[in-house]
Amino acid sequence: MHSLKQQIEQFCSQLSLKGLRMLHDAIADTLQREDALQPSVDPPYGIRKFPDFRWEADAIQAEFQKRSIPFRPIKW
């Protein structure tokens, strides 16, 4: 059985460029929105709380690199 991280990496390797960009942008936008919330507000998605968001972003960015596609790295 593959770990969740390995499953995410395998999934990302099968996505189209359009799908990769959509997911990458969604993670970056959500991270920015949640970071802008007041400390007293519970983030709706918990993008920093759950490691799978980071794993997915890393897998997407690795796939961009493998395909020689320029991208803006997500700043964690």
Give residue 1's pLDDT.
Answer: 67
Give residue 48's pLDDT.
Answer: 94
Which residue segment(s) compose the domain that 18 sits in?
Answer: 4-66
Q: Is the pTM of this model over 0.85?
A: yes
Q: Which two three-digit tokens encode residue 39?
A: 């400390």
pLDDT tens for residues 44-62?
999 999 999 999 999 999 9
* Overall domain count for the chain: 1
pLDDT beneath 70, residues of the chain: 1
Give residue 2's pLDDT.
Answer: 81
Give residue 58's pLDDT.
Answer: 96
DSSP letters, 62-74, are HHHHHTT------
Structural domain contains residue 34: yes
